[in-house]
Amino acid sequence: MKDIRFHDRALELFAEGYSCSQSVFAAMSPALGLDARMALKIASTFGGGMGLGSTCGALTGAMMVLGLAAGFSEYSPEAKDATGDLNRDLVWRWQQRMGAIDCRDILQIDPTDKAQKQAARDAGVLAERCPNCVQAAVEIVHEMLHELDIL
C-alpha cells in the first residue's frame, strides 16, 4: 500500500539534501507523534549505511519508524521478541524488493570513498538508486503499519 503523503514528503526531504534515513524517518514520524525536526536529528547519523556503507540508511529509517510505531518501552521478553520479529519481517521484505541491505551493495560502490561517491554522483547512480530506496522503505513500512492497524 502506498501513501502519497509519506512517499512525496520523503522524496522532497531527500531532494532537499537530507539523507535517506532522515527522509524516511522525518516523513513518517509526525503521524506517529514525533516532531519532524527531532526525527531529522535522530536519523542524521544513519545515512550512507551509517556512514560506513553498511545497512542502507533508508532501511534504518524504516526501522526507526517501525520502532516508534510498534516498539516497546516496558520491557518484557514477549515485547522484545515481537519487536525483533517485526524488524526481521521488515528486513525480509526489503531484501525481497531491493536484493541487498547494505548501501555498498545497493550502490555498487564504497560510499566512504569520496572519489567513488563523486563518480557515482556524476554518473547519476545516486540520483537513481537512493530515491528508489527511500520510496521502497516508506512503502514497505507503511504497508506493515497498515497491517498492524497503526496507520
Q: Express each pLDDT in 58-107 by its tens digit.
A: 999 999 999 999 999 999 999 999 999 999 999 999 999 999 999 999 99
Q: Count the Cβ atoms, other than its own, within 10 Å of residue 83.
A: 15
Count CB-CB contacts under 10 A for residue 86. Answer: 20
d(CA 120, CA 38): 30
Total number of domains in the chain? 1
Q: What is the pLDDT of residue 151?
A: 85
Q: If you count them, how many residues does the chain have?
A: 151
Q: Is the confidence at residue 1, as pLDDT, over 70?
A: no
SS3 content of the chain, % helix, strand, coil (to 5): 75, 0, 25
Q: What is the pLDDT of residues 4-56, one digit of tens each?
A: 689 899 999 999 999 999 999 999 999 999 999 999 999 999 999 998 999 99
Residue 2 has pLDDT above 80, yes or no: no
Q: Could you tell me the CA-to-CA distances from 68 to 58, 104, 121, 130 in Å, in that order? A: 15, 27, 32, 23
pTM for the model: 0.94
The domain of 52 spans 4-147
